[in-house]
Amino acid sequence: MLQTRKYALLSDKELIDGLTAVPPDNRLHEYFFKEKCKHFLTYISNNLYNEDDGNMLIGDFYEYLSNDDWKILKTWEGKNGSSLNSYLASCSMNFFKRKVKADKKHSDFEILPSTPDIIEYLDHFTAEEESENQPVWEAFKMLKKRDQVILRLLVIEEKEIMEAAKKIWPYIKTDKDILDVSQKHIQSIIAMAKHRALVALLNNLKRLTRN
């Protein structure tokens, strides 16, 4: 509690200096992301993701702020009396709006019925005998382990996303435990991973058929 009060007394400039210091002050970082940013992250979570837990956004928000040596934080200059908090609230809202839009775009193109090539390859891909569809399986073996696992579970074995989620999650690039992420967010993340795996499979098939 005393630690929280101490950090709450820091000026915006002191806060930025502390957050970008090397080595980092882990307690300051925890205070900043879980307390200082709690109000607007909860607001964003509620409005963009229909979730009341702002903590689910901390990982993405940390990556956004720390990118390029904390450029976003260091850009703030307090012009026109703007506080660091209001500046970050605006930046974070714009960032997550872009992210939601990009996530939706990827999800919409997960599998398109109007794309006959993908449907045709999936039909072959789910065949029982590998030897009957050698090019497809050769393309599959060229994939990264992550993509093989995703396609085997979701396409070959035709498991539902949430049923396969725990086995797929270790291959997802995130520091969040699956238990700390909402079901809707898990489905969106894995749907995008499945889409990328399918695209990789198609690219491999194209390379094989060209050769």
Structure-model confidence comparison of residues 179 and 112, the more confident one: 179
Residue 3 — pLDDT band, cuts 50, 70, 90?
Answer: low
Average pLDDT of every residue of the chain: 80
Residue appearing with tokens 């940013």: 37
Tell me the per-residue pLDDT of 123-167, one tens digit each, with 9 for 90 and over. 556 555 444 557 778 888 888 898 989 988 888 888 888 899 999
Domain ranges of the chain: 2-107, 110-210
pLDDT given at position 92? 92
The packing angle between helices 84-108 and 58-75, to 10°, is: 130
pLDDT at position 114 over 50:
no
pLDDT given at position 44? 92
pLDDT given at position 41? 93
Neighbouring C-beta atoms of residue 138, cutoff 10 Å:
13
pTM of the predicted protein model? 0.52
